[in-house]
Structure 1
Amino acid sequence: MSTAAETRSTEELAPVATETLAELLVAKDRPPRPSALSTSITFGWRAILKIKHVPEQLFDVTAFPIMMVLMYTYLFGGALAGSVDAYVQFLLPGILVMSVVMITMYTGVSVNTDIEKGVFDRFRTLPIWRPSVMVGYLLGDALRYTIASIVMLAVGLAIGFRPDGGFVGVLLGVALLIVFSFAFSWVWTMFGLLLRSEKSVMGVSMMFLFPLTFLSNIFVEPKTMPGWLQAFVNNSPVTHLTNAVRGLMDGDWPATEIAWTLGWAGVFIAIFGPITMRLYTRK
């Protein structure tokens, strides 16, 4: 009975000639190729939607920054500056830099997770600007950096932080921090493509991030350190970034530190951007 039904349905289907099928496929012009900007924004929106569907991802930009501000302020404030109020003026811009720079590693983790799920195989077949996938990750993470900055500044204001630079100085400091973090995230996208598991990405990232952030002027002035350590700290990109953000929030214009920060950002993109794209193409 089933054989008869199949035969009847087959007879009812009209044959499709090869010429007719070709005409259908080429009847209209192909849609224009999407621009690099539109595809980058699309993938950035995809990263934001992932946060919407898994809001637990915001834990590292909400609870973690609050814990960092409160812990270090009240732990070191009295010992290093004599009072919490005095120390928070020095610490908050630095701890803001530390927290945002440390969460840049999650860009590499997200890249590695998508590779494991096979999503990248589909992305590479699309007629789009190749770097837009990576740029989209970084644009989505820029929102995370902004949220972390707002949370930390709100907590800092609640416990006594008063920036002399006012709203403009704080805005410029946060903007500079986000630009640097966007560039710095290219390092972790490279590791996300290079390493085979997200745990490996996190382990390698923390191995670099901990000494880079703690061996800086975030917590204390470098003049209290040994000479050989001062040489490293004074030339660290995190130190230049911290000086620039601290100066802007204090109402100054540290042109040299800003130039160093933007220069380091350019170096990170120039070196790790091409390496990342080469790995992405060959992965």
Structure 2
Amino acid sequence: MAGRLGGKVAIVTGAGRDGNIGVAICEAYLREGARVVATDFRTAESEVVSARLARSAPAEHFRFLTHDVTSEANWAQVAAETAAAFGGIDVLVNNAGIAIHAGIEHSSLDDLRKVMAVNHDALFIGTKACLPELKRSVQRFPGGGSVINNLSMASYMPSGINIGYHVSKAAGRMLTLCAAVEFGPMKIRVNSVHPGLTMTPLIREGLADYVKLGAYPTVEEAEASIAGMGPLGISSDPEDTAHAFVYLASEEARFVTGASIYHDGAIGQRY
């Protein structure tokens, strides 16, 4: 099949909310010829989004599965259903994420554990669940399997008002590097993408929380201030970010593993 991802089978988590990075990745993967399984909690919005994605895809190239990424049993089911439907798994995109905006003083241990479970533990669980099929990807594609973790610029930027999110993303960065070393001999590449200020619903809600915490006067001023940290001085959108995920999933990136792609407008130059 034509396209940079022609014939590849991809799972993309956290892809049930319109305007988020996961949905943009699904759209880009479908355009590039992949067969895609999008997962998320099943909601009225996810039903609308998944129906739209299905209409945009060739026949039998898209499925939506209800998914709790913190559940080992659910991950085993998603991996098995994907392999049964499409014949394998070549690409795993760990995109699902949550945030509880507070520092140590106003967070509970349960808050931290909840964020870590989705943003970090799910990377471990999902990668392990998909590993048997990812190992077999090299039989279909010379570049082998690909795991791509969406980790955010939060993984290298400290924050006093968003501890769970930043700590979980930093932990995911090391998990990515360790997995790249472990899985290299299996012909599985493991990389991460670190988006900067990308105007998704989750980010808009986060900026609103920052306003409530007194960090910024308004959401608009929060966006301008954070975007201004980088030399480009602008925010991104999910479609921009999806291009990085296409590259890492493609055969063009067959020699790329353990890489952290800073898709952040160079805000990371400050750290």
TM-score computed with the length of structure 1 as normaliser = 0.31
Q: Higher helix proportion, which one?
A: 1
Q: Higher strand proportion, which one?
A: 2
Which has more radius of gyration? 1
